[in-house]
Amino acid sequence: MDFSIRATNVEDCKDIARMIVELAEYEKVTEHVKITQKDLEQDGFSKNPFFHGIIAEVPEQHRSKDGHTKIGYALYFFSYSSWTGKAVYMEDLYVMPEYRGKSIGKALMSKVAQLGLAAGCNQLNFTVLDWNKSSLDFYLSQGCFDVTASMGYHCMRCEGEAMEHLAQP
């Protein structure tokens, strides 16, 4: 299948917001999506962006059954490992279901890895749901490993009232 991968721009935020909801539906967590198109525009395309993105696009003749040509995306940001230095964190990797199995997800992930290496990063980090066997198998086939299983780390989060409480001196 003919597709291209390119850096996102502010005009892509409507489609990214749509695909974020689609990903949340797949993961059965739509109630957690609070982000809006406007948030994406501000957070990704301001003077100091909080994230970067790439998008997969198909030509008009291959548009989705709903008429979309923007059919996948990855969001990422740079982070730092106190052990190994510069790192890139892939927040999302998503391809619309009707386009899966066509190497689009691999191309998106490969591009994030390329961008990370170009920035001097030596690791790519991301999370995957424990029940998502097809994604786990894909990541393992790419040479990735499960940090929880091999090193015993757990991904932790503090949010909302708990974060506000934690922030109190």
Active-site positions? 139
- Please name which of 38, 64, 40, 39 lies closest in space to residue 53, comparing C-alpha atoms: 40
Interatomic CA distance for residues 8 and 61, integer angstroms: 21
9-32 average pLDDT score: 96
Ordered domains of the chain (ranges, CATH) = 4-126 (3.40.630.30), 128-169 (no CATH)
To the question of pTM greater than 0.75 for the whole model, the response is: yes
Summarize pLDDT for 121-146 with one digit per residue, the tens: 999 999 999 999 999 999 999 999 99
d(CA 21, CA 35): 9
Q: Distance between CA atoms of 64 and 106, rounded to whole angstroms?
A: 19
pLDDT for the residue numbered 157? 87
Rounded distance, CA 64 to CA 42, Å? 28
The dihedrals phi and psi of 18, each to the nearest 5 degrees, come to -60, -45
Q: Cβ contacts of residue 146 below 8 Å, gap of 6+?
A: 136, 140
Q: Residues 71-93: pLDDT tens digits?
A: 999 999 999 999 999 999 999 99
Report whether pLDDT(154) > 90.
no
